[in-house]
A and B are shown apart, each in its own frame.
Chain A
Amino acid sequence: MKIRSGLRPSSKHLSDKKQPKPPRRSWRQLTLIGILLVLLMGFWYRGGISRIAAAQAESAIKRWRVESASKWLNFAQMLGDQPEVHFLLARVARIDNDPHQMRKHLLKAHELGFSSELLNREQDLLRLSLGEIDSILESKAQHWIHQHPPDEGLVVDAYANGLLAQSRFSEAVTVLEEYERAFPEDPMVNYRFGVMNEHLRSSAKAEEEYKLALQKDPGYLRAVWNLARLKSGKNAPQEAIDILKPHEVGKPALAVRTMIAHCYQQFGDLEKSRELLISVADKGFEAGIESYRVVDEPPERFLAASELGVLDAKLGNWDEAKKYLELALEVNPRDFVARNAYAQTLRRLGFQEQAEKELKQITEERKEYDKITVLRDQVSQDQSNVDARVQMGKILFKYESERFGLFWVRSALTYDPKCNEAHQFLGDYYTSQAEKTSDTAEKQGYENKAKFHFGQIQSETNVVAAP
């Protein structure tokens, strides 16, 4: 028993008695440990631990635990460059709406010899989710879904989002419902239905779907965010805060804090709101980008600075207002909210001439922007009003949001694939994007898209000219 309980006998025994032979068992144990260590080193050398981490990450992605997946993958990266890890990092970046990071990791995975088929498939999933669905991609997506691959949820998510972006709602519903029958516990389906309901201006139904998503998975971040946003919009700031509070840490922290600050304003607690907004705005725009991406809302405005500037203007803190509004406008000169408050602020600080200039710009922009109300009504009355869609897209693109502008212009092509004006606009857009980027692959991608759209115009001209 003593021997079992301790390997070291007492010194008294050593001096008093003849030293016993080391038990055979100890030697065996040491040998075993040595072998294990050698095996472990071999396993390490061959990327085994990375693979375990990657497997954990893959499983996390399937459960939409993107942040947890990132952690596993970051850990795996510390153990060496593995193609599979880069592939999964690309996938995480895609889900987090970060195509630039995605491309970077895909290239790296390619360099390390990862399966080209899977890399191409991942790029296709990106195109699907952006709504760049042509007939080839469409049949690919349907084929994948029919095969029921292990990542079926990701395929369905991307495809449904793409269909939504193309205003093909009933098809999106079919795809999601089919998937839901097989995977009733996946919160993604309810999230996508929630988004669709918001498009339908049916926020009560959207709210129901987001709640269902959270019943299935309380940590499903995109539903957390959208439900809180709806609650705040419905003047239930406390409910929104309660939903958001558990997510005030980690990747979404800055976005979450900005929304909580907005909720405090709804309560009339402006000081608390201001405090929070300062803590976010002072970190800078770049710091907050990721937090919005993970909640499926890629930012185009420096929201914290814009809100803070407007709030300071309300409180009469004109100097502070000017500082933050300038930050917001620097990030996005199209930030109409910030520009309006900025004009007031300049006026109150005595910069009359500059204020007049801003007001003139606002008036002119507003004149254009106001056309949206009429155009939107026209689309509501007639969904196939291609011209109204394109005009609305162009105005939104110019004065408010590049993303929404592109959405509307693209949506025109759903109703008229030969719409010259839409192709011209998109061709010009991709050309300008190609000019902006220094990334060769990205440039090539934009140029290809531009070529495609210009080509569509050409073909129509030919059709007209042919007779």
Chain B
Amino acid sequence: MPLRKFCCNLTVFSFLSVVICAGCNDSVRTGANPSLKNELSNGSSTFRFEDITSLVKLKQRYDNGESANELAILETIGGGAAVIDFDRDGYDDLYFASGGHLDNKAVTGSGGALWRNLKAKELSETTEQARVSCSNIYSHGTTAGDLNNDGFSDLLVTGYFGLALFINQGDGTFWENSSLAGFVDPKWGTSSAFGDFDSDGNLDIYIAHYVDWSFSNHPPCKSNGLPDVCAPGSFTGISDVVWMNTGDGNFSRRSQDIGLAVEGKGLGVITADFTDDSKVDVYVANDTTNNFFYHNKGGTFEEIGLANGTAVDDMGTPQGSMGLCTLDYDSDLRLDLMVANYENQAFALYKNDGDANFRYATSTAGLMALGTTYVAWGTVATDLDLDGDEDFVIANGHVMRSSPPEQLPLLLQNTGNGKFKIQTFEEENYFRKKWRGRGVIAFDFDRDGDMDLGFTHVNQDAVLLDNASQSTGNWWITELVGTVSNRDAIGAKLLIKTDKRTKMRNVVGGGSYLSQNPYYVHWGLPKGEVLESLEITWPSGIKQVIKDLPPRSRSLICEPAK
């Protein structure tokens, strides 16, 4: 029997593995549970996605440098993408992190690439022209937002060799402003998110740091008896930082002095007003340590993750957390939180009960049925079928050499009763193939009113999917322009009242994984449901009600003066 041979070559044994990992999965993939599969196979998916990557000439690949065979933890992180309409032509452009190399025990960067959307017919790479290459950075994350309130989105790239901040000049080019703005961070940055933490109308920046790995701290590690990438437990976490925007083009570095926790192994970060107090809170997904929930107390934070139920899973255990998104899955007009976790850990859906209290709702929402075989990264919640509620898209892919690196991505339909159903697709569809997924973004690439999807992978080309789902529903896209509040209106809360119900959306910063979705808000409603009004609570606290929004329309809404 194979076991017996294995026993004789025993190297890694632990009784603890039974304690901790009893019933865990190994390399065998079971996928969704059989009853769920049966249920799904009886009905065809209402979703259709067409891969238009080649059609629009997108050719973008994240190289993690694994060909050097260093088995460095740096290889595992991958890279994301940001949606940024940098030329303000109304079509979303894309910026991708490109990774780097690890040859000769040296980390070198590949920076990133900017792809200009030519009226949805083609994507054209304009990295050099726009001066956003940052090739000194082994890049992971990218975020976009209007940091100087000039109407043009700026760009931030995070990675192993620090940061690169690109200020949009408004003429199709950027100015690399990091060192001038005092914006120097040599630590290993992963995800970042913008948000006006001190409510001064300027976007500040939260940067998640990972661990203290370097080639001088690169222990040999094994998995299943073979050399493999080290687990995060082999390293010490690094404290995150906040860069407070002083409004004059400079930033001041803050950390524990404004309440940030010590250490943490940050991979994902999202900024949103979870507590309905018009202050943007921050949630950080940490790898194997408690996740942080920073309650904004007005420019300073109180970390209350453990107290409010969002730091750990229902068993009180910290997870290998990576991807994040917010949504109101149960339509109770409170902003819930979804966290994508490592293998053998369920997705964590935290239901917002108000007063900054959350409840672990994975099982009540039917997400336990997804199983724990996925190493889940980027996650977005958006209404893909225009039925009024937000669905999930999740990118998956393994990190260990001892496991198959490619995994199936997931699309979960919100059934409207607070539960989710996994969708199946025909052969050859993107969702039927296994990928080394990392980032995922949802945006209206072709301005047809439905949300398209972009995926980033490790050592595989990025993929762009056109949403070709047949839906009779209506849609609205509302882009907010802050005047008193930050220009991107991060932290705004939007309520639409229809003849049947009230729905909520929020403008959030960061999220997914190492990525940035657009700040505009997309709504879908089933045919026949009439939108009566839109109520906006701006981050400044100003309320605004808009009526007569025609269906299937885009609106640019400016914040009224106080």
CB–CB B1/A193 < 8 A: yes
Please tell me if B64 contacts chain A, counting CB pairs below 8 Å. Answer: no
Of B29-37, B131-139, B178-186, the one touching chain A? B29-37
Please tell me if A266 contacts chain B, counting CB pairs below 8 Å. Answer: yes
List chain A residues, Cβ under 8 A from B25.
203, 233-235
CB–CB B231/A265 < 8 A: no
CB–CB A266/B368 < 8 A: yes
Number of interface residues of B (CB under 8 A): 66
Please tell me if A144 contacts chain B, counting CB pairs below 8 Å. Answer: no
- Residue on A nearest B220 in the bound complex, by CB: A381
List chain B residues, Cβ under 8 A from A177.
4
Please tell me if A398 contacts chain B, counting CB pairs below 8 Å. Answer: no
CB–CB B32/A340 < 8 A: no
A317 to B193, CA, bound (A): 36
The listed residue with most A CB atoms (<10 A of its CB), out of B309, B360, B365, is B309
CB–CB A314/B363 < 8 A: yes
Chain B proximity of A242: nearest CB distance (Å): 11
CB–CB B13/A200 < 8 A: yes
Chain A proximity of B290: nearest CB distance (Å): 7
Contact A265-B368, Cβ < 8 Å, known A230-B23, A363-B306: yes
Please tell me if A237 contacts chain B, counting CB pairs below 8 Å. Answer: yes
Please tell me if A376 contacts chain B, counting CB pairs below 8 Å. Answer: yes
CB–CB A196/B316 < 8 A: no
A392 to B361, CA, bound (A): 32
CB–CB A268/B369 < 8 A: yes
Please tell me if A133 contacts chain B, counting CB pairs below 8 Å. Answer: no
- Residue on B nearest A365 in the bound complex, by CB: B316
Contact of A229 among B10, B22, B306, B361 (CB under 8 A): B22
Interface of B is mostly: loop
Contact of A339 among B23, B316, B366 (CB under 8 A): B316
Bitwise interface map of B from 295 to 323 toward A, beta carbon under 8 Å scored 1, else 0: 00000000000110100101110100000
- Residue on A nearest B10 in the bound complex, by CB: A169
Chain B proximity of A410: nearest CB distance (Å): 10
Bitwise interface map of A from 372 to 385 toward B, beta carbon under 8 Å scored 1, else 0: 11101101110100
Chain A proximity of B317: nearest CB distance (Å): 8
Of A121-129, A149-157, A399-407, the one touching chain B? A399-407
Contact A236-B34, Cβ < 8 Å, known A169-B10, A347-B307, A411-B15: yes
Bitwise interface map of B from 133 to 164 toward A, beta carbon under 8 Å scored 1, else 0: 00000000000000000000000000000000
List chain A residues, Cβ under 8 A from B361.
314
Bitwise interface map of B from 357 to 380 toward A, beta carbon under 8 Å scored 1, else 0: 101110111101111110000000
A212 to B347, CA, bound (A): 33
Contact A201-B26, Cβ < 8 Å, known A268-B364, A337-B315, A380-B12: yes
Contact of A316 among B234, B353, B365 (CB under 8 A): B353
Please tell me if B120 contacts chain A, counting CB pairs below 8 Å. Answer: no
Contact of B231 among A315, A373, A401 (CB under 8 A): A373
Please tell me if A205 contacts chain B, counting CB pairs below 8 Å. Answer: yes
CB–CB A193/B3 < 8 A: yes
List chain B residues, Cβ under 8 A from A193.
1, 3-4
Please tell me if A344 contacts chain B, counting CB pairs below 8 Å. Answer: yes
A343 to B309, CA, bound (A): 9
Contact A392-B16, Cβ < 8 Å, known A268-B363, A347-B307: yes
A404 to B21, CA, bound (A): 13
List chain B residues, Cβ under 8 A from A363.
306
Contact of A396 among B1, B19, B316 (CB under 8 A): B19
CB–CB A209/B33 < 8 A: no
A255 to B11, CA, bound (A): 34
Chain A proximity of B34: nearest CB distance (Å): 6
A343 to B314, CA, bound (A): 12
Chain A proximity of B211: nearest CB distance (Å): 12
Chain B proximity of A33: nearest CB distance (Å): 59
Please tell me if B104 contacts chain A, counting CB pairs below 8 Å. Answer: no
Interface residues on A, range: 35 or more
CB–CB B2/A205 < 8 A: yes
Please tell me if B253 contacts chain A, counting CB pairs below 8 Å. Answer: no
A209 to B2, CA, bound (A): 11
Contacting A at CB under 8 A, from B431-479, are none
Bitwise interface map of A from 409 to 432 toward B, beta carbon under 8 Å scored 1, else 0: 001000000000000000000000
Contact A316-B359, Cβ < 8 Å, known A173-B7, A238-B33: yes
Give the tally of cross-chain contacts (CB within 8 A): 187
List chain B residues, Cβ under 8 A from A411.
15
Chain B proximity of A71: nearest CB distance (Å): 31
List chain B residues, Cβ under 8 A from A270.
363-364
Chain B proximity of A330: nearest CB distance (Å): 18
Please tell me if A5 contacts chain B, counting CB pairs below 8 Å. Answer: no
Please tell me if A118 contacts chain B, counting CB pairs below 8 Å. Answer: no
- Residue on A nearest B34 in the bound complex, by CB: A238
Bitwise interface map of A from 341 to 354 toward B, beta carbon under 8 Å scored 1, else 0: 10110011000000
Contacting B at CB under 8 A, from A222-245, are 229-230, 232-239
A201 to B25, CA, bound (A): 8
CB–CB B363/A266 < 8 A: yes
- Residue on B nearest A352 in the bound complex, by CB: B307
- Residue on A nearest B31 in the bound complex, by CB: A235
CB–CB B23/A229 < 8 A: yes
Please tell me if B546 contacts chain A, counting CB pairs below 8 Å. Answer: no
Contact A401-B369, Cβ < 8 Å, known A197-B3, A340-B316, A377-B234: no
List chain A residues, Cβ under 8 A from B40.
none
Chain A proximity of B374: nearest CB distance (Å): 11
CB–CB B28/A355 < 8 A: no
Contact A381-B28, Cβ < 8 Å, known A362-B306, A366-B290: no
CB–CB B234/A167 < 8 A: no
- Residue on A nearest B363 in the bound complex, by CB: A265
CB–CB B4/A374 < 8 A: no
Please tell me if A134 contacts chain B, counting CB pairs below 8 Å. Answer: no
Please tell me if B76 contacts chain A, counting CB pairs below 8 Å. Answer: no
Contact of B222 among A209, A339, A362, A381 (CB under 8 A): A381
The 7 closest A-B pairs by CB, nearest first: A233-B23, A340-B316, A235-B371, A373-B233, A268-B366, A204-B28, A380-B12
List A residues at the B interface (Cβ < 8 Å): 167, 169-170, 172-173, 177, 193, 196-205, 209, 229-230, 232-239, 265-268, 270, 310, 313-316, 336-337, 339-341, 343-344, 347-348, 355-356, 359, 362-363, 366, 370, 372-374, 376-377, 379-381, 383, 392, 396, 400-401, 404, 407-408, 411
Q: Can you list 27 A-B pairs with a CB-CB distance of less than 8 A?
A: A173-B3, A177-B4, A196-B3, A199-B13, A201-B21, A202-B6, A203-B26, A204-B28, A205-B2, A229-B23, A234-B25, A235-B30, A235-B370, A235-B371, A267-B35, A268-B419, A310-B315, A336-B316, A343-B306, A362-B316, A363-B306, A366-B290, A380-B11, A381-B220, A396-B19, A408-B15, A408-B16
Other A-B pairs beyond A193-B3, A310-B314, 10, CB < 8 Å: A234-B25, A234-B28, A266-B363, A267-B33, A267-B35, A268-B366, A310-B315, A343-B307, A380-B12, A407-B15
